[in-house]
Chain A
Amino acid sequence: MTSLDGKLDTGAGISVLPLTAVKVLGLKSKTDVWVAGYDGLPTQTPAYVVTVTVAGHTVEALTAIATPRSQILIGRDVLSHFVATFDGKNQTFDLVDP
Chain B
Amino acid sequence: MSKLQVHLTLKRAAQELGVHEQTLRSWEKRGLIRMIRLPGSRYRRVPVEEVERLKREMTAPATTTGVEMQPPARDAASAEQARGQAAVVEAGLTNLEAPPQGEYALKARVITVHEPPSIYGVPFDEAALSEGPVVLELDGRPIAALIPPDEYQAFQAWRNYQAWNQAQLAYLQTERAAFQRLLPELLKTHPGQFVAIHDGRVVDSDADERELAGRVISQDWEPVYIQEVRAEPRVYEVPSLEIVRHVSLRHE
Also in contact, A42 and B238, with CB within 8 A (given A26-B85, A32-B176): no
A46 to B237, CA, bound (A): 15
A28 to B79, CA, bound (A): 13
Which B residues are in CB contact (< 8 Å) with A20?
90, 96-97
- Chain B residue at minimal CB-CB distance from A31: B226
Q: Contact: B171 with A16, CB < 8 Å?
A: no
Also in contact, A46 and B96, with CB within 8 A (given A16-B238, A28-B72, A60-B214): no
B169 contact from A11, A25, A32, A42, Cβ within 8 A = A32
Q: What 0/1 readout, one digit per residue, does chain A (9-34) give for beta carbons within 8 Å of chain B?
A: 10111101001100111111111111
A59 to B217, CA, bound (A): 15
B57 interface hit (Cβ, 8 Å): no
Q: Contact: B161 with A68, CB < 8 Å?
A: yes
B59 interface hit (Cβ, 8 Å): no
B23 contact from A30, A44, A49, A59, Cβ within 8 A = A44
Q: Contact: B240 with A9, CB < 8 Å?
A: yes
Which A residues are in CB contact (< 8 Å) with B85?
26
A41 to B238, CA, bound (A): 11
Which A residues are in CB contact (< 8 Å) with B225?
30-31
Which B residues are in CB contact (< 8 Å) with A35?
235-238
Also in contact, A45 and B213, with CB within 8 A (given A29-B172, A30-B224): no
Also in contact, A61 and B168, with CB within 8 A (given A24-B86, A68-B249): no
Residues of A within 8 A of B (CB): 9, 11-14, 16, 19-20, 23-39, 41-46, 49, 59-63, 65, 67-70, 73, 75
14 pairs, CB–CB < 8 Å, chain A vs chain B: A12-B236, A12-B237, A12-B239, A14-B238, A26-B78, A31-B172, A36-B238, A46-B169, A49-B213, A59-B210, A60-B210, A61-B211, A62-B213, A73-B243
Residues of B within 8 A of A (CB): 19-20, 22-23, 26, 69-73, 78-79, 82-83, 85-86, 89-90, 96-97, 157-158, 160-161, 164-165, 168-169, 171-172, 176, 209-211, 213-214, 216-217, 222-227, 233-244, 246, 249, 252
